[in-house]
Structure 1
Amino acid sequence: MAHSVVTTAADLAGRALASITRGVAAVRHADKPLHPDGDMYAGQLIRPGSQQRTGVPWIDQGGEDDVIVRLSRAVGLPGPVPDVHGLALRLRKGQTRYGDLLLASTGWDPLTRHLLMPAWNAHWPLTTLLPYRSPIGPLVIGARPIDVRGYQLCWAVVGRQWHALGDLTLTMPLPEETEVSFDPVVNPLPGLEQYPWVEHLREQSYAVARRMRRASHA
């Protein structure tokens, strides 16, 4: 019963987000209603391995990932105006498979890390906002800027303290025409799963955005 209530609530919230996405697109007359403009970079994520085990090899074991990174503002408001900042990463999981990670400006403590926060500048913490399913429970990923080209990535079980995940460095800008459609539902991170209610919440607004992009390129 509880599961069906959560799923229904997430479905209703997802429909509301999809309506907002369509509304923003209509006002803008744009095919990309959210994060319309962004700066693309090649980057490298160096993971030392986590001392606190999660059961997710990508977090627990050390390694290096070559990534594509997009920095953006959700609404695309002028620079001096607060906006929700976005940090998107794509890492390879094989020759043709990818994992996408989307983070947005939030707070950093156990409560506010789940709340979107418009930020005055890019020196603001970002998180996945919604949790992933992991062997040790619901898990959130966050990032804190350490300089203009670097971020410290962390992970935390919902309600618990942060632990180091890795250091992200933006190595070089990519051409303006570089286009990547980040989608954490279609391209999950290795070893992490989306909860069904999170998929319900996100999928409808993502589906609207995907249809708009296909229509604009038809």
Structure 2
Amino acid sequence: MQASDIAALPIRFGAALRNRRLFHPSGVMAEGILERVAPEDEGLPMQSCDVIARVSKGVGLPGAAPDVAGLAFRIPPPPDLRSCGPWDVLLASTLAGSRIGLAPTASWTGATFSSLMPLRYHNRLWWVRARLASGVDGPGLSLAAVEEAISADGVVFTIEQAPPTGGFRPLARLTLRHVDPSTDDIAFDPAMHSDPEVELAPRWLGDFRRSAYRRSREGRGEGPDT
């Protein structure tokens, strides 16, 4: 057993006790569209496509209570690379201006979502972040308000990318437009599901996240690729 597997064991036990995701147990699943706005040769290889996404609360605190906000979306593989599987992008709320400072937020509109780790693509590192570009009515960090906004007019996020020492630039526009609770059993996993030329960096931390997601699925009694 690798060190990363041992370190992730508490996550398995925690998920087993909860009998659901240990982190981000509460969320809203939706269908949407990702529209690339960056030049094709600039940065990460995210292409325009239909996606499924999940907006969530990290601890699962009830109602509108502050929490760590989460945004995950799954990009299907290009038609000529169907055997490679999808690419999962996971983002979580951070301190204002921080790329790694995971922190709770009191509202959706004020949250900045970060990848928390850079992504390596063609030997270059890229950070990813997202911000809400449309309004979500209602107080605090309410999932019910997000669900209502998606069902009414849709919810839009701006997706941005940045090199390690540079500023963020627009990468894509993510529009969630149809709530689909039937897909809430999907386990987003950025370590298992990635573009074939993209990986989490540094590799040792990516290995730990891979083990953590696997242990969480085991704790819930799910298969390796649920």
Q: Name the TM-score class by shorter chain.
A: 0.7 to 0.9
From 168, 172, 185, give the equivalent of 1:179.
Answer: 185
Q: Is 1:152 matched up with 2:140?
A: no
Q: Percentage identity across aligned positions?
A: 30
Q: Is 1:163 matched up with 2:169?
A: yes
Give the TM-score, by structure 2 length.
0.77
Contact 2:87 2:195 in 1 (8 A): yes
The Cα shift of 1:114 comes to 1.0
Q: Is 1:118 matched up with 2:104?
A: yes
Q: Is 1:210 matched up with 2:217?
A: yes
- Partners of 1:197 and 1:155 lie apart in 2 by 22
Q: How many residues align?
A: 197
From 73, 91, 110, give the equivalent of 1:103.
Answer: 91
Contact 1:21 1:34 in 2 (8 A): no
Match of 1:48 in 2: 37
3-state secondary structure, aligned to 1:113: coil
RMSD: 2.5
Change (3 A) 1:21 1:145: same
3-state secondary structure, aligned to 1:188: coil
Structure 2: gaps (5+ residues): 137-154
Change (3 A) 1:132 1:108: farther
Give the TM-score, by structure 1 length.
0.79
- Partners of 1:15 and 1:89 lie apart in 2 by 28
Matches within 5 A, 1:2-17: 11=3, 15-16=6-7
From 86, 100, 105, give the equivalent of 2:70.
Answer: 86
Contact 1:107 1:126 in 2 (8 A): no
Q: List, as ranges, runs of 4+ consecutive aligned residues in structure 1 with deviation greater than 6 Å.
A: none
The one-letter code matched in structure 2 to 1:128 is S
- Partners of 2:86 and 2:94 lie apart in 1 by 25
3-state secondary structure, aligned to 2:65: coil
Match of 2:128 in 1: 141
- Partners of 1:173 and 1:120 lie apart in 2 by 23
The one-letter code matched in structure 1 to 2:125 is P
Query: CA offsets, 1:23-82, max 9 Å, x none?
Result: 5436x532321111211100001102338833x4x25xxx42100010111110123432
